[in-house]
Structure 1
């Protein structure tokens, strides 16, 4: 999931929604682990690839 925060585009965790890593158009293959805390106090620990969507030539904020 991509979000614009302070003028930069960030990849955010699909489970907890917190920002993980800044991304640029064409980014692929960056494996990330979310180490943020959820509302219940447990670590999220989501793991996956941080990438720019293939079909998004130009990103538009949600």
Structure 2
């Protein structure tokens, strides 16, 4: 299962409110989303996860 938010999409307002109230100091995941959102796209990792068979990783 994957929860995929696309760049420019917002976290639902109720979800954001609950996250802020339950974690007033923030969490590592909240920080990463705030700071790194938009750096990568799903397409950047498409080659790692082919539709069939196992993921291919190339060691260099």
Work out which of the two has the higher radius of gyration on C-alpha atoms and give 1 or 2: 2
When normalised by structure 2's length, the TM-score is 0.26
Structure with greater contact order relative to length (CA < 8 Å, sep ≥ 6)? 1
The structure in which a higher percent of residues are helix is 2
